[in-house]
Amino acid sequence: MIEQSKNDPDDLQIIEDIKELIQSRLKDANIQLDMNQKYLNYDINEDSKVLKLEISELEGSGINLYSLNILNQEIQSKLSNLTNLEEISLLKNGISKSNLNYNNLKNLKTLNLSGNQLESFTIDETFSNSIKKINLSNNNLKSLEIINRLFNQLESINLSANQFEKVPNIYKNAGNIKKLDLTSNNISSIDHSIGELDNIEELLLANNKITTIENNVFYNKQNLKILDLSNNFLQNIRFDHSKLESLAEFYLFGNDIKKIDTARNIVRKIARNRNFQNIEKHEKQVIAFFEVTVRKGELSYIVEDNHVIELYLAYQDLSRLPNDISLLSELKILDVKGNNLKALPKSIFKLKKLQKLDISLNLNIVVPGTFSILKDLEDLKISYCNLPKIFDKLIDSNKIKILNLSGNGINQIHPNLSNLKDLEILDLSYNELFEINRPIFELKKLRVLNLSGNQIAKIPERISDLSNLEILNLNFNNIAKLPINVSSLRNLKSIYMVHNRISQIPEYFFKLNSLKTAHFTANNISMISSDIDISKKFNEFYILENPLPNHIRYKFFKRNYKKKITLKSLHIKNAYSFDDCEFTDLTQKNLVVGTNNSGKSNFFKIIEEIKPFSRISKDVIKSNSKYEDFLLHYVFEFSDEYISNFVENL
């Protein structure tokens, strides 16, 4: 760190001068900020030297240095006197020309001028050689020059979302750049300018207008690890890729590649380049190079790789999977839900280690085999595929523990279901079932059963056979009665019976000791045959939209309340002109809750009676003005009378 001489200005005093200048302009413009709004942030070291400074536009307000007319020599001069600065950010300040004296900022490593109005920018001898990162994204830049000095510490330049029509010539003075981001510009071709960046590791060129790439551009890019050419206008991949020895991620989607041979070879190279021993297990599973889509809606190739464990291709608009998916011999999880797949390839049944498969939301998909071939399959999801005969594909699939066949138009539970002896979770919701029949009751290990959204009229007595059942969901059916056998489900924790035709909740239902959640909203319940304290028995007990008499409601919901609705305490923080206050002597302040806004009005009447609120404008208390921010925290006690009246008016 550079020592500060006795004549050097104090860093904190400079910050105060800048804040005072901004505050003065805010006052001149008649702008008052919320207490939580900050336009200036800074970090200091133990010697009170400012190392990091950020002055940015107030979010969503349009208030910045430009709008306050202080992008002048005075404030930039003050900034330039913060000679210990390592990082400066002037994000979204309307800057069209930078007049900072970078020559004073000897320690500057990071410069962020993103979101301004710059049309050109020059990195010259005024910059310290210590500069490492420059962010000029979201400007109007058409040119960038690096002149008169070798910036061998410069590692990263972000030029995304500008107006560049070609790659700027920066290689002569910044040849050590490792990351160059030119995403979202107007670049149409890639020429030798890139070719000279020998140390480049990450090159981002997505969302441009690139049609051609010169053949030798990537010839000597042994360090290039990430290359993003997605969403351009490429039709052919003809550049020399023989030296891309470190390439680990390659993005081509959103182009119109006619021939994929070169792309296939690049992907094979990626597979060889990846050092899986040095990558975290979770990162192994995110295999972007398998998701390279060179034609929209088509996964064109798979590369053999024994390290791939999980493959996620959900919602990729795929119309088919390639047969060589079987090359992923170690694959355990395959997720292809939400595509337009017409059929699964037969080779998918060669994935002998597959444990989890999700093909949901692929309408009318053809399954060319039985899942019993996949001996390790434990989790199978085939929901909303319109496959009413899908049970035919489940012959003797013994290891399956989780099965989701919801939304398939199934009208009968097939005997094959009883073969799934290890099944623990079964979802047959939103089908066309009229009854719960024998195959389900053979599933002795079942813990979760979801049959919601069907047309079931009766819970069979054999429900008691499901002794391990913990969650039963029968929402949106036509069930009129809870049979006594339900009381045998000793492990039942949650039951969902919303929107049925149940008229009574019998006493034996409340003897289920494990039951903590019960939803009976929108039934015909007029009787609850128990005096149990629901508030102690259940975590959730929903019974709205039922014709319960008021005395039943009151009996079940009156418990442990005082005689009044009493405001016990009130805590106010930062209310206009005074600091934190807490009031606890409020036992005589009763809040009468009525309809519409009367509760709120009465509450504010109480507030107005409490000192020191008498010193505050009523408009402050009753308004939501963003310039008069305050926090109220209040505590009430409720009486039996209030609860009774409230329940009766539900």
Q: What pLDDT sits at residue 99? A: 62
- Do residues 130 and 269 share a domain? yes
Integer-rounded Cα Rg, in Å, for the chain is 34
User: What are 114's two structure tokens?
Assistant: 């993103």
- 8 A C-beta contact, residue 239 and residue 266: no
Q: Is 450's pLDDT higher than 70?
A: yes
- CA–CA separation, 288 and 266 (whole Å): 13
Here the contacts of 373-378 (C-beta below 8 Å, separation 24 or greater) are: 373/349, 374/349, 375/399, 376/332, 376/352, 378/402
pLDDT greater at residue 341 or residue 260: 341
Determine contact, residues 50/44, Cβ cutoff 8 Å: yes
Of 515, 536, 558, the domain-final residue: 558
> Is residue 253 domain-shared with residue 164, that is, in the same domain?
yes
CA dihedral 515, 517, 522, 526 (to 10 degrees): 40
Residue pLDDT, tens place only, 296-345: 334 444 444 556 677 777 777 788 887 778 877 888 889 888 888 999 98
Greatest extent of the chain over all pairs of C-alpha atoms, in Å: 92
Range of the domain at 481: 457-558
Eight-state DSSP code of residue 319: S
* 62 lies in the same domain as 208: no
End residue of a domain, out of 558, 584, 612: 558
Predicted pLDDT of residue 286:
33
Q: Where are the alpha helices (DSSP H) in 128-280?
A: 192-195, 261-273
Kindly report whether the peptide bond that precedes residue 460 is cis, defined as omega within 30 degrees of 0. Answer: no
Say yes or no to pLDDT of 550 above 70: no
pLDDT tens column, 114-128: 888 888 888 877 777
Q: Would residue 369 count as lying in a domain?
A: no
Shared domain for 89 and 130, answered yes or no, is no
Q: Note the pLDDT of residue 532.
A: 76
Whether residue 580 has pLDDT greater than 70: no
User: What pLDDT is recorded for position 252?
Assistant: 73
Which residue in 261, 269, 260 sits closest to 241, CA to CA?
269
User: Left (φ > 0), alpha (ψ -120 to 50) or beta: where does 450 sit?
Assistant: beta
Of 71-85, 149-163, 379-393, 483-497, least confident by mean pLDDT is 71-85
- 394-408 pLDDT, tens digit per residue, is 877 678 999 999 999
Given a contact cutoff of 8 angstroms between Cβ atoms, the answer to whether 367 and 390 are in contact is yes
pLDDT band at residue 582, thresholds of 50, 70 and 90?
low
Domain boundary among the residues 558, 590, 616 is at 558
Distance from C-alpha of 177 to C-alpha of 153, rounded to nearest angstrom = 8
Q: Cβ–Cβ contacts within 10 Å for residue 144, how many?
A: 20
Domain-located, residue 333: no
Binning pLDDT at 50, 70 and 90, where does residue 267 land? low
Domain identity same for 194 and 251: yes
Residue 158 lies in a domain: yes
Residues 133 and 12 in one domain: no
Instruction: Lowest mean pLDDT of 245-259, 432-446, 450-464, 561-575, name the range.
Output: 561-575
Q: With 60 as the cut, is the pLDDT of residue 585 above it? A: no
Q: CA-to-CA distance for 248 and 211, rounded, in angstroms? A: 23
Is 517 found in the same domain as 570?
no
Higher pLDDT, 9 or 283: 9
Q: What confidence category does residue 553 fall into, taking pLDDT thresholds of 50, 70 and 90?
A: low
In tens, the pLDDT along 600-630 reads 445 555 555 554 444 445 454 444 444 344 4
Q: Give domain status of residue 365, yes or no.
A: no
- Looking at the structure, tell me whether residues 132 and 261 fall in a common domain: yes
The predicted pLDDT at position 370 comes to 87
State residue 650's pLDDT score.
44
The confidence score (pLDDT) of residue 456 equals 96
**Residue 135 falls within a domain, yes or no?**
yes
Residue 48 has pLDDT above 60, yes or no: yes
What's the confidence (pLDDT) of residue 127?
77
| 504, pLDDT greater than 80 | yes
Q: How many domains does the chain have?
A: 4
Mean pLDDT of 513-539: 85
Q: What percent of the chain has pLDDT over 90?
A: 27
User: Which string of DSSP letters, residue by residue, matches 377-435?
Assistant: --EEE--SS--TTGGGG-TT-TT--EEE-TTS---S--GGGGG-TT--EEE--SS----
Do 140 and 206 sit in the same domain of this protein?
yes
Q: Residue 65: what pLDDT?
A: 64
Q: Which residues contact 13 (CB under 8 A, 6 or more apart)?
A: none
Quick one: the chain helix, strand, coil %, rounded to 5? Answer: 20, 15, 60
Average pLDDT over residues 452-472: 94
For the segment 244-264, the average pLDDT, to the nearest whole number, is 70
Q: Are residues 530 and 610 in the same domain?
A: no
Rounded distance between C-alpha atoms, residue 326 and residue 275, angstroms: 22
pLDDT at 603: 54
Considering the domain boundaries, does residue 312 fall inside one?
Answer: no
Comparing 626 with 191, the larger pLDDT belongs to 191
Give the pLDDT confidence of 20-42 residue by residue, as tens digits: 777 777 777 676 665 455 667 88
Which amino acid, residue 497? M
Structure token pair of residue 428: 């047959």
Dist. CA 376–CA 332, nearest whole Å: 9
Let me know the angle formed at the C-alpha of 626 by 621 and 631, rounded to the nearest 5 degrees.
Answer: 50
Number of other residues whose CB lies within 10 A of the CB of residue 369: 12
Q: Residue 640: pLDDT above 60?
A: no
Which pLDDT score, from 0 to 100, does residue 407 have? Answer: 93
pLDDT confidence band for 596 (50 / 70 / 90):
very low
Q: β-pairing, 87-89 with 471-473? A: unpaired
Residue 542 pLDDT: 85
Structure tokens given for 251: 């993005």
3 state SS of 157: strand
Residue owning tokens 């292809």: 336
Q: Is the pLDDT of residue 579 over 60?
A: no
User: Is residue 544 located within the same domain as residue 610?
Assistant: no
User: How confident is the model over 345-366, as pLDDT tens digits?
Assistant: 898 999 999 999 999 999 999 9
Beta strands 110-112 and 527-528 are unpaired
Residues 6+ apart with CB under 8 A from 280: none
Higher pLDDT, 504 or 72: 504
pLDDT score, position 508: 87
CA angle, 192 then 196 then 199, to 5°:
140
Q: Which amino acid is located at 64 in the chain?
A: N
Cα–Cα distances (Å) from 59 to 31, 55, 260, 369, in that order, read: 15, 12, 45, 56
pLDDT of residue 331: 86
224-239 pLDDT tens trace: 888 888 888 888 777 7
- Residue at token pair 């006594």: 484
Q: How confident is the model at residue 491 (pLDDT cuts 50, 70, 90)?
A: very high
Which pair of structure tokens corresponds to residue 390? Answer: 């899908």
When pLDDT is averaged across residues 175-179 and rounded to a whole number, the result is 84
Do both 571 and 533 map to the same domain? no
C-alpha span between 516 and 492 (Å, rounded): 9
- Whether residue 376 lies inside any domain: the answer is no
Work out the mean pLDDT of the chain and round it to a whole number: 75
Residue 307 to residue 304: CA distance in whole angstroms = 9
Residue 624: the pLDDT is 44
In the 3-class helix/strand/coil scheme, how is 132-156 assigned residue by residue?
Answer: CEEECCCCCCCEEEECCCCCCCCCE
Residue 461 lies in a domain: yes
Which position has the higher pLDDT, 641 or 550?
550
Could you give the CA distance from residue 298 to residue 327 in angstroms, rounded to a whole number? 17
The percentage of residues in the chain with a pLDDT greater than 70, rounded to a whole number, is: 68
Burial class (CB in 10 A: 0-12, 13-18, 19+), 1: exposed
d(CA 338, CA 452): 22
